[in-house]
Amino acid sequence: MKTLDQIAAELQGYDPQALSAHTVNGFLAQLVPLPTQSEEVPLMQALGRVLAQTVVSPIDVPPHDNSAMDGYAFDGQALQIDTPLQLTVVGTALAGAAYQGAVATGQCIKIMTGAVMPAGLDTVVPQELVQTSGAQITIPAGVLRAGDNRRARGEDLQQGNTALAAGSVLAPASLGLLASLGLPTVRVWRRLRVAYFSTGDEILSLGQAPREGAVFDSNRYTVWGMLQRMGMECIDLGVVPDEPVALEAAFRSAAALADAIVTSAGVSVGEADHTKAMMRKIAQRDTPGEGGVVFWRIAMRPGRPMAVGRVGRVPLFGLPGNPVAVMVTFLAFVRPALWRMAGANAQDPAISPPLLKARSTQAIRKKPGRTEYQRAIVSPDAQGHLCVETTGDQGSGVLSSMVRANGLLVLHHDQGKVSPGDVVDVMVFAGVM
Ligand code: AMP
Ligand code: MG
């Protein structure tokens, strides 16, 4: 395992006092370990879990050529003539009850959707296209081509081919796909256990009596919610005061219980509190090589200060204190790092909402040299084109504007000011956080 210093030394442009958001992700990708423990679970316990091994299809899906329509199956060669086609119906095939006899030239069978296509037949005419008269059907000329309305064996999945790659985050469609292969269970990585706590003498747990200068703890609720959305196992360690003994105990139990630790507050620059000193002490003492913590100033807004390290071998994400900064740094940095620890492929669609292009309805001031995430409402205009509007007060403590937002307007490191009508990047986070 690389030490923090080794990771830093290999990163281009590593400056703890002015880190780009991009460099932070590069650092975290090296800091966090990949999963080692997997388990076999029934499909209905596998939603949102990460596939631990590539699934190779044991069968063809569908397992036989079958009809895509309710209609009549026949040999498509008969369509070579340009006149209406007359065929005699000699039997019926139902889904699950194949037609067993032979079908000669000039004959057809009645067939239902999903029924096996008898050997030699390759075309189905939908029943609404034919005229029937007793056992005779007539297919008008020009309504069909040979091969129409037949689903080929293996057109979805072929035996021996990759059905799902290791590292896929299992979505409802993936579960259905595994079921279509007849697989009742699937091997997934163990769920990640994440311990989290809030720090600060002024932070009240819910239910505590308000007092002068104190605020209720909102960070533990946003962090819990974001971890839940990722399907992580959450270990809530409450609010910890800025007090060395309590902080030390919290870090120790977090490291003993969890695969990763998320804290908030106490990492600002020039702060006269114990969190930073305690983080450094705990992180370094037991396992000097692996543990440790670095304090960063990230060139971003909101969320400038952040601490990152390991307590023993357990990664620590020390987020800022301000409630919106917590959510934005979690989305930008912690989420991808935790998904990596959970075994997910970096390109998996579950990991980050994609950046979309939208037209800004307003002017936005921005200096190159930092990444800004502005809370925003992304919506279609009258023509259906995406446009974006910020949600007013962007103060890093203003959680109400986060509630009103459905996404973030992302102004990249080197980007300058935005004029009305400019196209900008947006990340829609509804459903993610
Ligand atoms: P700090 O990083 O400790 O300087 O905290 C920055 C700001 O975030 C301060 O105004 C804190 O009161 C506030 N804050 C810190 N932790 C929380 C929390 N858990 N819930 C709400 N606000 C918090
Ligand atoms: Mg504080």
Strands 66-67 and 292-297: unpaired
pLDDT of residue 272: 59
d(CA 27, CA 101): 67
Ligand located closest to 323 CA: 1
Determine if ligand 1 sits within 6 Å of the CB of residue 202.
Answer: yes
Cβ-contact 232, 243 below 8 angstroms: no
Determine if ligand 1 sits within 6 Å of the CB of residue 302.
Answer: no
Phi and psi angles of residue 345, each rounded to the nearest 5 degrees, phi first: -65, 140
d(CA 192, CA 309): 18
**Start-to-end CA span in the chain (Å):** 32
Cβ-contact 381, 421 below 8 angstroms: no
> Could you tell me which of 56, 57, 48 has the C-alpha nearest to residue 344?
48
pLDDT of residue 270: 67
Cβ-contact 227, 196 below 8 angstroms: yes
pLDDT of residue 284: 79
Determine if ligand 1 sits within 6 Å of the CB of residue 265.
Answer: yes
pLDDT of residue 286: 66
Q: Counting atoms of ligand 1 from 1, which one is nearest the CA of 264?
A: 16
In the reported structure, the alpha carbon of residue 341 is separated from the centroid of ligand 2 by a whole-number distance in angstroms of 29
In the reported structure, the alpha carbon of residue 71 is separated from the centroid of ligand 1 by a whole-number distance in angstroms of 67
In the reported structure, the alpha carbon of residue 308 is separated from the centroid of ligand 2 by a whole-number distance in angstroms of 17
Side chain identity at residue 123, one-letter code: T
Q: Tens digits of per-residue pLDDT, 381-398?
A: 999 999 999 998 899 999
pLDDT of residue 281: 86
Determine if ligand 1 sits within 6 Å of the CB of residue 266.
Answer: yes
Chain Cα centroid distance, residue 307: 25
Determine if ligand 1 sits within 6 Å of the CB of residue 218.
Answer: yes
Side chain identity at residue 282, one-letter code: I
3-state SS, 69-85, equals CCEEEECHHHHHCCCCE
Candidate of 322, 329, 402 to mutate for ligand 1, largest count of ligand atoms within 8 Å of Cβ: 322
Determine if ligand 1 sits within 6 Å of the CB of residue 323.
Answer: yes
d(CA 42, CA 183): 9
pLDDT of residue 365: 95
Which residue, judged by its Cα, is nearest atom 5 of ligand 1?
A: 321
Candidate of 203, 204, 263, 279 to mutate for ligand 1, largest count of ligand atoms within 8 Å of Cβ: 203
Q: Tens digits of per-residue pLDDT, 39-78?
A: 999 999 999 999 999 999 999 999 999 999 999 999 999 8
For the full predicted model, state whether its pTM sits above 0.75. Answer: yes
pLDDT of residue 392: 80
Q: Counting atoms of ligand 1 from 1, which one is nearest the CA of 273?
A: 3
Percent of the chain at pLDDT above 90?
89
pLDDT of residue 82: 85
Q: Tens digits of per-residue pLDDT, 247-275?
A: 999 999 999 999 999 999 999 876 656 78
d(CA 416, CA 409): 13
Under-70 pLDDT residues of the chain: 270-273, 286
Tokens of 70: 């309710």
As beta bridge partners, residue 88 has 107, 136
pLDDT of residue 147: 96
